[in-house]
Chain A
Amino acid sequence: MALDARIPAREDAASRLLDKGMQPQSTAPGQTAEHFRQKVWLTWALLCALLGAGFYELHLDFGYVGQKLPFLLGIRLSPDGFIQGAVLTVFVTGCSMICAWMIAVLTALGRLSRNPVAFAIATFYASLFRGTPLMVQVLIIYLALPQVGVVLGGLTSGLIALSLNYGAYLAETIRSGLMAVPAGQREAAMALGLPRWVASWKIIAPQALRLIIPPACSLFVSMLKDSSLVSLMGLWELNFLAQSYARSSYHYMEMLLAAALIYWGLSIVFELVQVRLERRFGRGVVARGRHAAGPRNG
């Protein structure tokens, strides 16, 4: 429990990243957690410096990057008054995330269902959308649906494609999480006389979420970058702007690197959220895990 009590005092980003998932279960003899953290910071700083030195060698035009940064970040609106750049990227990812989550829960329940039709629909959907490329799905939804009378805007098409694609992947993640909760948990809840939905919501879901969150967050980080495919439909998101500026001005490296760094920054935010969620849903379990791991490694 001493380890857990220390956790809320940590505020810096790196140590948050290090927490739980990334920190080894046990430190080597004689090495305190403080030492470990310092060395990690140092290594990060060195790697960042190396990366920075690499960029410096490219002789980039930082003035041009500075000039385009407000547009890339989406602080300014696009010519037709819509959000653009990183803000649009985050908007598309956020909306798709919520929809994907809902689709995935339904699909996972269908996969675990005893109803053959529900099972068939869930497996068919998951197989179809995991088995075809996202870009093909985006184009089919945008170009083929109009031929049967459904004309969707670029943003709507993009959101639907991303949600359906990632919903299929997420469904498998959720299913594995649900299946990993021992059957005894539900049996115990039933034995205590809890109604089915209370057992699901209060007993099964929190335990499953602990297992679902790390892979689900990985999926969302990946979705953040795949959201660039909506640029096919003329949406001015981060990747679209970076490419267009690059082509319009012939400042290729500057724009690509700027976009890469912004995507990276956004991913780091996602990772920090992940750490918080993991900590929240891992209460109690992780403390035991660490104590149990101690003798094995130490």
Chain B
Amino acid sequence: MTLNIRLRRLIASSLAFVLACVPFAHAGTTLDRVKRTGVLNDALMESYPPFGFIDTDNQLAGFDVDVAKAFAARLGVTLKLATPGWETIMSGQWQGRWDICICSMSPTEERAKVLSLPVRYYSSPAVLTVHKNELLIKTVADISGKRVGVGMGSSYESYVNKTLVIPGAAPIAYPFRNVLAVPGDETVNFRNLALGPGVRLDAIISDFATAKAAVEASHALKIVGPVIYAEPNVVATEKGDAEWDRTVARIFNEMKADGALAKISQRWFGQDITHDGP
């Protein structure tokens, strides 16, 4: 990014601030910017294997990365990846830093308030993981009074706290009480759970794909019980550019229809997680 562009942006956004009384001062900016620069700035997580991680060649890799590459190719622009902290993505005030977040985000009411969530791109169920020597916890109904690890700020944290509302989906059942949520880094949580049943954690609620990868890596964990709830994952954009959102939704629906997304899913998971019904 040259100083010139930054300066221009600074002036532009200063003007926007001065004219802040006008709503949607940024309307239409994302699509215009992507078209003008020919670059798609995509934010994603680098420590969320197998969706986003750094591979042995020090490159970002994973399902989300491949989806982003396919999306950028269809749009005919160059893909530029960024790995900001989750909290900076979730703050919603991107101010043009990123154009899109193909980052395994679950839609929630809170997130929909600060971000635009134009399209679903895969659906992966939430599951319960315990230590392989765990005898008492067989389903999510057994976690009452237990310490349950969840990703900090994740939809699983909302679930354990009984506040999860997935827009457009049926209300979720909470067959437990007094669960002690232990929010933290998900991979650190899996390590803690592998120390033994109840040593630091009794169970973890997470996405099925991340749980499966952790179980395969540690050999000390197992996934138990039926699927807790089906969880859609969406693409996020900054609020205020309806045309960009329509473009994103159209291209993703095309990629679903012609099987491009399914192919990426097969490559990473050996199954198609991109067909999510509605």
Contacts and interface: CB of A to CB of B under 8 A. Distances in A.
A252 interface: yes
A80 interface: yes
B254 interface: no
A151 B15 CA distance: 13
A245 B56 CA distance: 9
A142 interface: yes
Given A250-B187, A252-B191, A146 B13 contact: yes
Contact of B17 (A142, A149, A232, A234): A149
Given A250-B217, A250-B218, A234 B84 contact: yes
Contact of A143 (B46, B88, B218): B88
Contact of B81 (A79, A146, A147): A79
A139 B87 CA distance: 9
B54 interface: yes
A148 interface: yes
Interface in A243-297: 243-248, 250, 252
Given A148-B17, A151-B10, A151-B97, A244 B54 contact: yes
Select the residue from A143, A153, A231, A241 with max chain B CB neighbours within 10 A. A143
How many A residues touch the partner, as a band?
Answer: 20 to 34
B80 A248 contact: no
A199 to B, nearest CB: 41
Contact of A247 (B9, B10, B55, B187): B187
A229 to B, nearest CB: 10
B121 interface: no
Given A143-B93, A247-B47, A232 B191 contact: no
A121 to B, nearest CB: 24
B57 to A, nearest CB: 9
A151 B59 CA distance: 27
List 8 A-B pairs, minimum CB-CB distance, nearest first.
A248-B53, A149-B17, A247-B47, A146-B95, A234-B84, A232-B85, A250-B217, A247-B187
25 contacts: A79-B59, A79-B81, A139-B87, A142-B88, A143-B88, A146-B13, A149-B10, A149-B13, A149-B16, A151-B6, A151-B13, A151-B95, A153-B6, A234-B83, A243-B47, A244-B46, A244-B47, A244-B53, A245-B54, A246-B187, A247-B48, A247-B53, A247-B185, A248-B53, A252-B187
Interface of A: 67, 71, 76, 78-80, 139, 142-143, 146-151, 153-154, 231-234, 236, 241, 243-248, 250, 252
Interface of B: 1, 6, 9-10, 13-17, 43, 46-49, 53-56, 58-60, 80-85, 87-88, 91, 93, 95-97, 185, 187, 191, 214, 217-218
